[in-house]
């Protein structure tokens, strides 16, 4: 068959599905969609495929229209065992946080109104008070993510001057976002010191000049260097900075406010520890180990945070009302000392292997067939605690003997409503209950039964 066998745009538009779509969405929009479908078919024919019929073009049109107008992103069930899954939106929010977002989204809110005086207020005031209490900092500022927090800090503090960074900390922090690039964008000049694996306070001191604006310490939150290594602690750099009149900026990464060692994990730097050590500014994410919505927070000295809040970039990266509401509700869980049982990711982290095993056994019994319960490892994920795992149990579905094997099962699970996201290991589909919310269990069981039948 050749390109001459392709249905024309006019013929495809005359089909019943195309006419129905034109009535719903308008002529011009559907014409553009039909042209896209015909062009895709033309490319396929040039690559050796058979020319589709007009009915096949119409079916493709319907599928494209459905995908384009469906809600996005869709809610999915995370059965991968990766707790903070970047591709799946990182941390799920607590009920209180989602209710807070819904409340301000469905009507007007006191975003920048002081209800006591009736005058204009600041969207940051309440949040600042909570962050000061939780971290011990003099001042705080919330923005739309941690990359923006760091960019704002460097732009306000170090534009046109030098910032000293350990060579081992001039890292990429995700999505191609690199510390040297952030420094360049802020207008600051990067001065690297030390080596990839070993840097000393004396290396920083030797590089300090009259043009030095700050010493920047960056937590390697998504990788780990082990063996013959050394890095000065925050307190050691703070002491150096005090002697030489240079502030310390510390990007601690995931915004962990709890002691991870209590949950069988290695120590993760906490913002309050850096503040206590004397860092001038501390930057962290709010949608990782803090367990809130996407956002970034800066805490530190009143003088330095004040400079950031007055910088023109502060308005460009300010936090929106719904994220602000969710973040405030999330932080209140910490104030009330209820975070481990109220914030979903901390419930997942703290769940015992015995508890997970009992849930997996219930799933296996309900699913039946060749499903098995097997010991596995869950991971924290999301650029937090690299290499750290938690003992867990999972329901395992062998791919052998099933149409298209494990990948076919995983695809069919993604096609369910809601989609179920699993992982594949050794040609087996692995479903880890640790990352599945209790109210999602029935949907998982139903989806698995449908996917393997």
Contact 253, 383 (CB under 8 A): yes
Predicted local distance difference test score (pLDDT) of residue 128: 95
**Same domain? 397 vs 286:** no
Distance of CA 56 to the CA centre of its chain: 39
Of the candidates 141, 162, 180, which has an alpha carbon nearest to the alpha carbon of residue 313? 141
399-406 — which CB contacts under 8 Å span 24+ positions? 399/424, 399/427, 399/428, 399/429, 400/427, 401/370, 402/452
- Total structural domains within the chain: 3
CA 342, CA 331: separation in Å to the nearest integer? 11
Return the bridge partners of 82, or none: 379
**Pair (137, 271) in one structural domain:** yes
The reply to whether 399 and 319 lie within a common domain is no
Do 388 and 443 fall within a single domain? yes
Range of the domain at 124: 93-340
> Is 16 in the same domain as 136?
no
In this structure, the answer to whether residues 276 and 144 fall within a common structural domain is yes
Domain boundary among 320, 340, 360: 340
Residues 358, 308: one domain? no
CATH number, domain containing residue 110: 3.40.640.10
**Any idea what the CATH number is for the domain that residue 352 is in?**
3.90.1150.180
Cα angle value 398/399/404 (rounded, 5°)? 165
Q: What is the pLDDT of residue 226?
A: 65
Question: What is the number of alpha carbons within 13 Å of residue 237 lying toward its C-beta?
Answer: 27
Show which of 315, 340, 365 is a domain's final residue.
340
Distance of alpha carbon 311 from alpha carbon 30, whole angstroms:
46
Of 9, 11, 33, nearest to 21 by C-alpha is 33
* Same domain for 368 and 350: yes
The structure's pTM equals 0.89
| Distance, CA of 58 to CA of 19 (rounded, Å) | 10
Give the residue carrying structure tokens 């009259």: 210
Q: What confidence score (pLDDT) does residue 174 get?
A: 61
Tokens at 241, concatenated: 């900075």
On whether both 332 and 356 belong to a single domain, the answer is no
Q: What is the pLDDT of residue 224?
A: 64
Answer yes or no: do 231 and 260 share one domain.
Answer: yes
Distances (CA, A) of 296 to 70, 99, 293: 30, 21, 9
Q: Are residue 54 and residue 193 in the same domain, yes or no? A: no
One digit per residue, the tens of pLDDT, for the chain of length 453 reads 567 778 888 999 999 999 999 999 899 989 998 899 989 888 888 888 888 888 998 899 998 888 888 878 899 999 999 999 999 999 999 999 999 999 999 999 999 988 989 999 899 999 999 999 999 999 999 999 999 999 999 999 999 999 999 988 877 766 666 888 888 889 999 999 998 889 999 999 999 999 999 999 998 755 566 666 788 899 999 999 999 999 999 999 889 999 999 999 988 999 999 999 999 999 999 999 999 999 999 999 999 999 999 999 999 999 999 999 999 999 999 999 999 999 999 999 999 999 999 999 999 999 998 899 999 999 998 767 777 899 999 999 998 767 778 999 999 999 999 999 999 999 999 999 999 999 999 999 999 999 887
Q: Indicate whether 369 and 429 sit together in one domain.
A: yes
DSSP 101-147: HHHHHSS---TTB-TTT-SB--TTHHHHHHHHHHH--SEEEEES-HH
Triad 430, 89, 74: Cα angle to 5° = 85
At a CB cut-off of 8 Å and minimum separation 6, what does 347 contact? Answer: 340, 341
């Amino acid at each position: 068959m050749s390109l001459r066998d392709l249905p024309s745009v006019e013929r495809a538009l005359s089909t019943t599905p195309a006419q129905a779509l034109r009535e719903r969405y308008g002529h011009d929009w559907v014409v553009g969609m039909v042209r896209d479908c015909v062009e895709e078919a033309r490319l396929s024919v040039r690559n050796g495929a058979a020319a589709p019929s007009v009915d096949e073009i119409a079916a493709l049109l319907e599928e494209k229209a459905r995908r384009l107008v469906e809600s996005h992103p869709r809610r999915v069930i995370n059965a991968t065992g990766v707790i903070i899954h970047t591709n799946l939106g990182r941390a799920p929010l607590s009920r209180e946080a989602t209710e807070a977002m819904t409340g301000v989204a469905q009507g007007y809110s006191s975003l920048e109104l002081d209800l006591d005086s009736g005058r204009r207020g600041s969207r940051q005031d309440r949040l600042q008070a909570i962050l000061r209490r939780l971290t011990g900092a003099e001042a705080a500022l919330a923005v739309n993510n941690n990359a923006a927090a760091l960019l704002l800090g460097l732009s306000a503090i170090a534009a046109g001057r030098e910032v000293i960074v350990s060579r081992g900390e001039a890292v990429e922090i995700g999505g191609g976002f690199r510390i040297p690039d952030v420094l360049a964008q802020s207008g600051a000049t990067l001065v690297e010191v030390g080596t990839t694996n070993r840097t000393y306070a004396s290396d920083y001191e030797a590089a300090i000049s009259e043009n030095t604006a700050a010493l920047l310490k960056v937590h390697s939150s998504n990788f780990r260097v082990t063996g013959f290594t050394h890095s000065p602690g925050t307190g050691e750099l703070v002491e150096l900075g005090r002697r030489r009149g240079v502030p310390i900026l510390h990007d601690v990464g995931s915004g962990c406010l709890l002691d991870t060692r209590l949950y069988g994990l290695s120590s993760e730097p906490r913002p309050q520890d850096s503040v206590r050590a004397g860092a001038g500014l501390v930057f962290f994410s709010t949608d990782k180990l803090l367990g809130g919505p996407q956002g970034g927070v800066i805490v530190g000295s009143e003088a330095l945070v004040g400079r950031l809040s007055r910088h023109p970039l502060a308005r460009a990266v300010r936090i929106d009302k719904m994220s602000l509401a969710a973040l405030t509700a999330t932080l209140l869980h910490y104030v009330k000392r209820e975070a481990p049982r109220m914030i979903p990711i901390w419930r997942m982290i703290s769940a015992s292997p015995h508890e997970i095993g009992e849930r997996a056994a219930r799933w296996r019994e309900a699913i039946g067939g060749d499903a098995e319960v097997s010991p596995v490892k869950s991971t924290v994920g999301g650029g937090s605690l690299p290499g750290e795992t938690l003992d867990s149990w999972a329901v395992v579905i062998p791919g052998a003997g099933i149409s298209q094997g494990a990948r076919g099962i995983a695809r069919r699970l993604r096609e369910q409503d809601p989609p179920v996201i699993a992982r594949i290991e050794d040609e087996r589909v692995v479903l880890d209950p640790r990352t599945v919310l209790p109210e999602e269990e029935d949907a998982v069981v139903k989806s698995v039964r449908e996917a393997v039948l």
